[in-house]
Amino acid sequence: MTELRSIERVGFVGLGAMGSGIARRLMDAGYSVVGWNRTRAKAQDLVDAGMGWADTPREVAEQCDVVLTMLTNTAAIPANAHGDDGLLAGLRPGTVWADLSTIAPDASVALSEEVATTGAFYLDTPVSGSPATLAAGQMSVMVGGDRAAYDHVEKLLLSIGPKVTYIGANGHAILTKVAINLTLVVSVTAFAEAVALVEKAGVDRAAVVDAALKSVVASPVIGYRAPLLVDDDTVFADVELQQKDLVLAQDLGRRLGAMVPTCSAASEMLSAARSSDLADRDFLISVSDVYRRAAGVAL
């Protein structure tokens, strides 16, 4: 088996809102980080704080012993992984590539097989949480892939969040993330439905939110999202980004012959929410807008 490389430099590709927050946590933990993002301006604060910069994903891989990626979706893989400037061209034997993205499970497994041909190790390491969860130090990470590679980077992953769980073989962590996000979207959509229902009956929305946050339904995701119905000041994930996860679950259900009826119902609501005037807000706000308009609740 290829010997794992000593971790001296950590690479990061994909420095959006979540990626930049994770990269900063790694730097705060003492890791030397080299990053690349399609738009350098979005990463300038990190560069100013001491992060190294690479001109291509390939240069990140060539310089680093562990590479983390946070890609928008499955379609973003070719631009970052393949080609002369892609990560695969720069990976060295013994490097660990840990992908934090939520992408199609079959694409993740296929990528792990490509990485194996370079002598490097690929881990699917999707995260669960939001920028707010990350900032609070409560992010969770799931890991699929070679157990020795996981053991090698476990300490690094713990600097992202305190809850890191090894799931199993390549693809198993991303499958678990699909299941978790299915649950998340269904529960948040149901909450929007419930609030709109009693608001139609004349109950004050702020009072409903306050009561819910003190009740048994106050899960972490309801805890940080429900207040948006009173003070819409944050976008954790818009409807387009969140529906991506439901589509992954629906595709998986079709492939496996497994029923996902609540997933499908929630996805229909998100489809309707895409035409909302508030579609650029957090998906809870977009879905709530659809329910309230359908019920004739005064806006």
* pLDDT tens for each residue of the chain, 299 residues long: 679 999 999 999 999 889 999 999 999 999 999 999 999 998 999 999 999 999 999 999 999 999 999 998 888 888 899 999 999 999 999 999 999 999 999 999 999 999 999 999 999 999 998 888 888 888 999 999 999 999 999 999 999 999 999 999 999 999 999 999 999 999 999 999 999 999 999 999 999 999 999 999 999 999 999 999 999 989 999 999 999 999 999 999 999 999 999 999 999 999 999 999 999 999 999 999 999 999 999 76
Known catalytic residue: 155? no
- Of 115, 136, 168, which residue constitutes the final position of a domain? 168
Is 1 within a domain? no
Q: How many CB atoms lie within 10 A of CB 294?
A: 11
pTM: 0.91
* The one catalytic residue among 155, 163, 177, 214: 177
DSSP string, 78-94: HHHHSSTTSHHHH--TT
State whether 202 and 242 are in the same domain: yes
**How far apart are alpha carbons 289 and 145 in whole angstroms?**
41
Q: Which residues contact 240 (CB under 8 A, 6 or more apart)?
A: 274, 279
Q: Is 253 helix (H, G, I), strand (E, B) or coil?
A: helix
Asked whether residue 39 is assigned to any structural domain, the reply reads yes
Note down the domain range covering 239: 176-295
**Cβ contact 77:107 at 8 Å:** yes
Last residue in a domain, options 143, 168, 193: 168
Between the CA of residue 206 and those of 6, 127, 214, 270, 278, what are the distances in Å?
Answer: 52, 31, 13, 23, 19
Please check whether residue 119 lies inside any domain of the structure: yes
Tokens of 78: 């070719």
Do 16 and 164 lie in one domain? The reply is yes
